[in-house]
Chains A and B, each alone.
Chain A
């Protein structure tokens, strides 16, 4: 047994346990990787919560993303799954079409969206123009950059949809039949049969969505970098492009990256990491504990 567990035990201690402890220690130090760590007590945390104006921006952006994107993803995945479960023809083709975007590598998908939504000559604004609508500036506009990322997120909803579809198809037909005998219409059957039966899967999707929201990085980094490069046409803009435009895509992980790996403030970045640790732990715990109230128990 010990032999079987050995690789994980080593890996867990070196790549998980040790960094957690080390992170807590470093967060109480000033450390720039060159000179040895200097003890500063809680100064990093004090600066993080009460001085640094970017912290609040990053927290707000991250909350915005989670609150908007996760419900929209769950809703669209649920909608698509329900429609697929009812379709009589072409189920396989539709399923493949809805799943494919989820496969697109995030960097490639983001690049594609920055192009498609580019304000000047992008296909979306061109088509909107033909319809007489002047499209927004999308990734160039601080008010539209996050909604653009949400569109990108909904495009990649395929994984969740596949899981929902499997769960919907798993609901026993007899439940629908007895509900129908009791006089339940299609909407009532959806509300009182389908929803409770697949509630554990919805919970899974929500937890996963929130966790992914807390570590949202690649899409924001790439979109900001490419959009900023497009706006300025300067050669090297990566250093100033984090959060472009106007810190509207500065999510918490992006800010952590900026402090840790472009400014090399390892102590400060560790303090940020500790805060993220507490928040992700708490969020997961709250969702899972509260779920007893609304997740149908027989289905667990």
Chain B
């Protein structure tokens, strides 16, 4: 007898003791499984944290609990590897890309959701196809393009620009998410603005942009996360030039580069996880809304 299935009759009678006991047992079983699963999901975080606090010798032994706690690991990490440099590069990539995604995707999504024009359905299908295809499909010619393109002798390979620039020309996922949200805005708002003599551009910047704040926040959030986690494209373009590495690449090379041990590697791992997790607790609602928006209304 699940909690969801409980009917609400006109007169609520207390169920017989047998039924109540059974319900109680089901609830206890349900919660026990949940607690076990929660422990399993938390365990990796716990092991990573504990190891990050161990001395080198402890990390090499099979001890599970640090003794003594080596807090200085979190300082040593910064002297072992150019973590600051990687962080700055990551920030550069994340901010430039996120700004571009928002500015370029909002108008496209609006045109796809709210303006009637010939070919709109086809354009939307194309966006969906672009969303479905693996990046590996287009990556070879794009690499060739950037490798052969030297305006004023500037070499794009080895920098983050080939990864940043495409974000300024509309991102399929963001267009999709924003379009789904724009569709939920009542037409009356736009009609009222049109009657008042607003052009579509003005409607977009005043009416729609304001109503769509949660969706825009979700897009910015996802774009930030995506770029922060991105590995494949930065690896292609900056793999050979360590000065331009982002955190994800630096972290993946961390062990082999400096022959550092597990304790420092785990400390660095934890430091890379931290910003995302802190961000999550600051913007929990935007996260959950964004995730469900993409899934449920699809």
| Interface residues of A, Cβ cutoff 8 Å to B | 1, 3-5, 7-8, 10-12, 14-16, 18-20, 22-23, 26, 31, 33, 80, 83-90, 93-94, 96-101, 103-109, 111-113, 115-116, 118, 120-121, 123, 126-127, 129, 155, 159, 162-163, 166-167, 170, 173, 176-177, 179-181, 186, 189, 200-201, 204-205, 207, 211, 214-215, 217-218, 221-222, 225-226, 229-230, 235-238, 253, 256-257, 260-261, 266, 269-270, 273-274, 276-277, 280-281, 284
User: Are the C-beta atoms of B228 and A105 separated by less than 8 Å?
Assistant: yes
Provide the B247-284 mask, 1 if CB < 8 A to any CB of A, else 0: 11101111110010010011001101100110010001
Which chain B residues border A218 with CB–CB below 8 Å? 231-232, 248
State in angstroms the CA–CA spacing of A256 and B235 once bound together. Answer: 14
Which chain A residues border B30 with CB–CB below 8 Å? 83, 86-87
User: Are the C-beta atoms of B168 and A7 separated by less than 8 Å?
Assistant: yes
Which chain B residues border A277 with CB–CB below 8 Å? 133, 137
Provide the B215-256 mask, 1 if CB < 8 A to any CB of A, else 0: 000000000010011011001100100000001110111111
Which chain B residues border A84 with CB–CB below 8 Å? 34
The residue in chain A whose Cβ has the minimal distance to the Cβ of B112 is: A5
Contact partner of A273 (CB less than 8 A), chosen from B1, B136, B277, B294, is B136
B99 contacts chain A at the CB level, 8 A cutoff: no
The winner among A83, A112, A179, A281 for most chain B CB atoms within 10 A is A112
Contact partner of B3 (CB less than 8 A), chosen from A86, A236, A281, is A86
State in angstroms the CA–CA spacing of A88 and B24 once bound together. Answer: 11
User: Are the C-beta atoms of A186 and B5 separated by less than 8 Å?
Assistant: yes
User: Are the C-beta atoms of A10 and B169 separated by less than 8 Å?
Assistant: yes
Provide the B177-204 mask, 1 if CB < 8 A to any CB of A, else 0: 0000000000000000000000011001
State in angstroms the CA–CA spacing of A181 and B104 once bound together. Answer: 53
- Say yes or no: A266-B140 contact (C-beta < 8 A), given A12-B169, A180-B5: yes
User: Are the C-beta atoms of B201 and A4 separated by less than 8 Å?
Assistant: yes
- Say yes or no: A253-B62 contact (C-beta < 8 A), given A4-B115, A22-B141: no
User: Are the C-beta atoms of B175 and A8 separated by less than 8 Å?
Assistant: yes
Contact partner of B144 (CB less than 8 A), chosen from A98, A176, A266, is A266
> Within residues 92 to 151 of chain B, which ones have a CB less than 8 A from any CB in chain A?
104-105, 107-108, 110-111, 115, 117, 123, 126-127, 129-130, 132-145, 147
| Interface residues of B, Cβ cutoff 8 Å to A | 1-5, 7-8, 27, 30-31, 33-34, 37-38, 41-42, 44-45, 47-48, 51, 59-62, 64, 104-105, 107-108, 110-111, 115, 117, 123, 126-127, 129-130, 132-145, 147, 166, 168-170, 175, 200-201, 204, 225, 228-229, 231-232, 235-236, 239, 247-249, 251-256, 259, 262, 265-266, 269-270, 272-273, 276-277, 280, 284, 287-288, 291-292, 294-296, 298
Could you give 26 example pairs across A and B, Cβ below 8 Å?
A: A5-B108, A8-B169, A8-B175, A15-B169, A19-B138, A33-B144, A85-B4, A87-B30, A88-B31, A90-B31, A103-B276, A104-B273, A108-B248, A112-B47, A113-B44, A173-B4, A176-B4, A176-B5, A189-B2, A211-B132, A215-B135, A217-B231, A260-B139, A273-B139, A276-B134, A277-B137
User: Are the C-beta atoms of A112 and B266 separated by less than 8 Å?
Assistant: yes
User: Are the C-beta atoms of B147 and A217 separated by less than 8 Å?
Assistant: no
Which chain A residues border B123 with CB–CB below 8 Å? 5
- Say yes or no: A106-B231 contact (C-beta < 8 A), given A116-B48, A186-B1, A201-B295: yes
4 further A-B pairs in the complex, CB-CB below 8 A; given A1-B200, A8-B169, A15-B138: A112-B47, A115-B47, A120-B62, A281-B133
User: Are the C-beta atoms of A105 and B248 separated by less than 8 Å?
Assistant: yes
- Say yes or no: A97-B41 contact (C-beta < 8 A), given A20-B138, A166-B292: yes
